[in-house]
């Protein structure tokens, strides 16, 4: 076997080990590369920031455990911004993981909630999971309170002051979904944005952001956080760099490893092609 | 009523009627026949049917594992006991106090479930890097475009791209907002036309497969 | 920082390592981890879904706030379980019909406005006072959308002008797939990095 052949048939576990070593090394010795802010993240921030005081935001926590590493920081930063602002918000979820994920972050931000003076039920509320995907999105948009009936802790929606004037999607000043896929962006576009004309912002996985670009460039999505990179930008924008920002150097290292392997794979491929041609001639 | 009517025609009539109510409520206002509340109640009811269907799925999963345990399927039945026991544990803890709010229930989600779910998802990082080396070969113009677009977008996403050359994020952004956006827009428009056509066929009873019949 | 003394962190860390053993080779530890996840996920989903059914379907029936609605949804829900019977399995089609009909009605009208009309409108916004570069991008984008769509025209043979359009459409799609690949790499790496952060910092305390 030639050395090129050996390289081409390298044990995949060596590739895995290289990735682990490079990422661990950069995590332990971060470089501190600057993180420029993109326009789509800035618009997400502006959308919340520019709302009049007392506006009610619909915050869809539409993901579960698997997407937590990328979307968790977005949710945490969004909650921090909302708790530090004069806006009110309703957390709901078309994904079963939403209530548990929201509870974890609300517990994490306990001190901030206390210092912000925000009161549960008056300034923010956590609703349970609503099954059904598209039908659930439509039901919420048309008749919000009748669809959920109770908050996550079992209190009837009629007894929650914040929900007193919330009947349809029109009663929210902004819709945000932090979503791992379906149900998510497209369901809200079809059932909330298009029929009710509500302003819409999205926190998307890096893998889904390219799919949502047509909606962002068309203006149907106003602002969008794109993956963990976007989350890091947003953390910087709200002045509270956290998990996402601290992982950016390792993310760069991981990308470089991937690109080097793509290039290396192609160099070996081309060299092998030429060496075969030479043998033939 | 004949069994053929109940079995075959009633579901198709129901699909047509419910579908038409949902479409009509969007275009016409007919308070005299309570069209809007009807449509609203219908979407709430459909969400609940979807919830029952989820329970059906979980019951089916449990039956599969119970069968493994009963039949002592080699190399599986012990794992099936583990799956069933943990599902039961989660359900029992979930029923303590207000459904699904007990701190132990959240703990089971926050520590074991999140750790396992994210770890299993993260395995794809290894496979994707390995595949980058083995399979991402430039054999045609199309493959070249794919690789080049991928690399520019990666260098836009990773802060190191801007540190190497400020052009990387600029070009990456352009790829995202022009060729990528146009490509996916083409898919969206095509898929929308397809979905509308299929949707109309479903409503008219031409697509019987939706009811699980061939 | 020292190694964590929190038992919860240890549980999460050991389960993480258990699941990572698969990258060496398939083994019983990984299979065990996989089944723990299946069990916990199924139990969790059951509770969250049951909560919705209980509060929105069962309680309204018994407290009188929605006898008709609660009754109908319970009947539709229970009918689904006839799937297990060979004799009465067809009854579940009634519930499926309500779900399919409602969802189809909703998606058809939704697709028409949010995804067909609005996206076509966005494609043709090349007129107006756009700066030259934006105008160029808008025209190029329109061409790319048309070419991508023409790739899916199978009614005619893709020769001549249509062949060229379809070819350019294929190139556009490849650029889109490349961008999607770039996004996928970011997501997968992020999840992996987060697990590494958990093991190195939260568990081992190597800050």
Where along chain A do its domains lie? 3-26+251-280, 39-248
Q: Is C75 on the interface with B (CB under 8 A)?
A: no
**Closest residue of chain B to A31, computed from CA coordinates:** B160
**Domain end position, chosen among B108, B140, B175:** B108
Alpha-carbon A41 to chain mean position:
11
Task: Please indicate whether, in this complex, the C-beta atoms of B113 and A65 are within 8 angstroms of each other.
Answer: yes
- For all residues of chain C together, what is the average pLDDT? 94
Average pLDDT of the residues in C34-49 = 98
Q: Which two tokens stand for residue A161?
A: 């002051």
Cβ separation B40–A248 shorter than 8 A: no
Among the three residues B64, B84, B108, which one is the final residue of a domain in this structure?
B108
The whole-model pTM stands at: 0.95
Tally of structural domains, chain B: 2
The CATH architecture that domain A39-248 belongs to is 3-Layer(aba) Sandwich (3.40)
* Cα–Cα–Cα angle for C111, C115, C121, rounded to 5 degrees: 135
Instruction: Return the residue in C187, C198, C202, C207 with the most chain A beta carbons within 10 A, the one to mutate for interface testing.
Output: C187
Mean confidence (pLDDT) of chain B: 93
Q: What would the mean pLDDT of C97-125 be, rounded to a whole number? A: 94
Domain ranges of chain C: 1-63, 66-123, 128-207
Residue B214 has pLDDT above 50, yes or no: no
Task: Tell me which residues of chain A have a pLDDT lower than 50.
Answer: none
The string of pLDDT tens digits covering residues B100-153 is: 999 999 999 999 999 999 999 999 999 999 999 988 899 999 999 999 999 999
pLDDT at B1 exceeding the cut of 60: no
Q: Specify if B210 maps to a domain.
A: no
- Give the pLDDT confidence of A192-221 residue by residue, as tens digits: 999 999 999 999 999 999 999 999 999 999
Residue B2's pLDDT is: 59
Q: Is B100 found in the same domain as B10?
A: yes
Contacts of B24 in chain A (CB under 8 A): none
B81/B161 same-domain check: no
Cα B94 from chain centroid?
24
B5 or A153: which carries more pLDDT confidence?
A: A153
- Dihedral sign computed on CA atoms, order C180, C182, C185, C186: negative
Reduced to 3 states (helix: H, G, I; strand: E, B; else coil), residue B121 is: helix
pLDDT tens for B144-169 read 999 999 999 999 999 999 999 999 99
pLDDT band at B213 (very low <50, low <70, confident <90, very high): low
Q: What is the pLDDT of residue A279?
A: 76
pLDDT by residue (tens digit) across B75-85? 999 999 999 99
Which residues form the domain of B72?
A: 1-108
B52 within domain boundaries: yes
Q: Which of C175, C197, C199 best probes binding to B when mutated, by most B CB atoms within 10 angstroms?
A: C175
Mean pLDDT of C184-195: 97
Phi then psi for residue A91, to 5 deg, are -95, 125
The answer to whether A15 contacts B133, with C-beta atoms less than 8 Å apart, is yes
Q: Which residue of B has its CA nearest to A71?
A: B118
Contact B127, C191 (CB under 8 A): no
B212 within some domain: no
Interface membership of B9 toward A (CB under 8 Å): no
Instruction: Please report which confidence band the pLDDT of residue C127 belongs to, taking 50, 70 and 90 as the band edges.
Output: low
The rounded distance, in Å, linking the Cα atoms of C155 and C157 is: 7
CB contact under 8 A, A214 and B185: yes
Across chain A, how many H-helices and E-strands are there?
A: 14, 6
CA distances from B85 to B76, B82, B117 (A): 14, 5, 18
Residues B1 and B78 in one domain: yes
Last residue of a domain, one of B108, B137, B166: B108
Per-residue model confidence as pLDDT tens digits over C154-186 = 888 888 889 999 999 999 999 999 999 999 999
Find tokens 């790499």 and name the residue. C185
């Amino acid at each position: 076997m030639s050395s090129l052949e050996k390289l081409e048939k390298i044990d995949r576990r060596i590739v895995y080990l290289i990735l682990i070593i490079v990422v661990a090394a950069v995590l332990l010795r971060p470089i501190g590369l600057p993180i420029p802010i993109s326009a789509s993240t800035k618009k997400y921030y502006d959308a919340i920031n520019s709302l009049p005081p007392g506006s009610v935001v619909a915050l869809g926590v539409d993901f579960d455990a698997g997407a937590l590493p990328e979307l968790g920081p977005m949710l945490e930063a969004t909650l921090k911004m909302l708790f530090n602002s004069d806006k009110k918000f309703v957390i709901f979820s078309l994904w079963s993981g939403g209530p548990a994920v929201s509870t974890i972050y609300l517990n994490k931000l306990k001190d901030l909630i206390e210092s912000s003076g925000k009161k549960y039920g008056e300034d923010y509320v956590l609703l349970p999971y609503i099954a059904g995907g598209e039908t659930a999105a439509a039901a919420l948009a048309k008749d919000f309170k009748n669809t959920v009936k109770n908050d996550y802790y079992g209190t009837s929606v009629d007894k929650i002051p914040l929900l007193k004037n919330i009947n349809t999607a029109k009663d929210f000043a902004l819709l945000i979904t932090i979503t791992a896929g379906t149900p998510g962006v497209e369901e809200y576009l079809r059932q909330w944005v298009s029929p009710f004309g509500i302003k819409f912002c999205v926190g998307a996985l890096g893998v889904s952001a390219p799919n949502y670009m047509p909606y962002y460039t068309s203006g149907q999505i106003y602002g969008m956080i794109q993956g963990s990179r976007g989350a890091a930008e947003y953390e910087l924008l709200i002045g509270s760099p956290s998990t996402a920002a601290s992982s950016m150097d390792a993310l760069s290292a991981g990308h470089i490893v991937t690109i080097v392997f793509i290039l290396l794979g192609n160099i070996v491929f081309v060299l092998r092609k030429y060496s075969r041609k030479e043998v033939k001639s | 009523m004949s069994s053929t009517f109940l079995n075959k025609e009633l579901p198709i009539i129901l699909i047509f009627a419910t579908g038409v109510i949902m479409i009509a409520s969007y275009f016409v206002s007919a308070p005299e026949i309570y069209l809007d509340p009807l449509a609203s109640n219908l979407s709430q009811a459909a969400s609940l049917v979807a919830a029952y269907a989820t329970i059906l799925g979980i019951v089916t999963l449990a039956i599969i594992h119970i069968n493994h345990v009963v039949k002592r399927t080699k190399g599986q039945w012990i794992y099936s006991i583990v799956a069933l026991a943990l599902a039961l544990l989660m359900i029992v803890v979930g029923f303590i106090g207000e459904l699904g709010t007990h701190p132990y229930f959240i703990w089971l989600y926050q520590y074991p479930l999140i750790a396992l779910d994210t770890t299993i998802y993260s395995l794809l990082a290894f496979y994707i890097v390995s595949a980058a080396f083995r399979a991402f070969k430039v054999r045609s113009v199309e493959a070249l475009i794919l690789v080049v677009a991928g690399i520019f977008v990666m260098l836009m996403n990773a802060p190191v791209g801007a540190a190497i050359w400020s052009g990387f994020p600029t070009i990456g952004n352009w790829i995202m907002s022009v060729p990528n956006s146009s490509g996916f827009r083409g898919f969206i428009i095509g898929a929308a036309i397809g979905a509308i056509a299929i949707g109309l066929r479903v409503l008219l009873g031409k697509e019987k497969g939706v009811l699980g019949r061939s | 920082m020292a190694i964590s003394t929190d038992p919860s962190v240890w549980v999460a860390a050991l389960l993480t390592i258990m699941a990572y053993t698969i990258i060496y080779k398939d083994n019983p530890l990984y299979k065990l981890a996989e089944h723990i996840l299946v069990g916990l996920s199924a139990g969790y989903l059951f509770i969250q879904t049951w909560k919705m059914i209980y509060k929105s379907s069962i309680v309204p029936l018994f407290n009188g706030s929605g006898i008709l609605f609660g009754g109908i949804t319970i009947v539709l829900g229970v009918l689904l379980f006839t799937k297990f019977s060979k004799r009465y399995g067809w009854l579940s089609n009634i519930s499926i019909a309500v779900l399919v009909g409602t969802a189809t009605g909703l998606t058809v009208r939704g697709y028409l406005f949010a995804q067909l009309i609005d996206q076509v409108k966005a494609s043709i916004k090349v007129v107006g006072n756009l700066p030259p570069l934006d105008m160029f991008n808008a025209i190029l984008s329109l061409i790319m959308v048309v070419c991508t769509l023409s790739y899916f025209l199978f009614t005619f043979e893709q020769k001549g002008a249509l062949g060229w359009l379809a070819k350019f459409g294929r190139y556009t799609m490849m650029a889109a797939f490349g961008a999607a690949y770039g996004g996928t790499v970011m997501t997968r790496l992020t999840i992996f990095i987060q697990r590494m952060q958990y093991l190195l910092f939260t568990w081992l305390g190597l800050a």
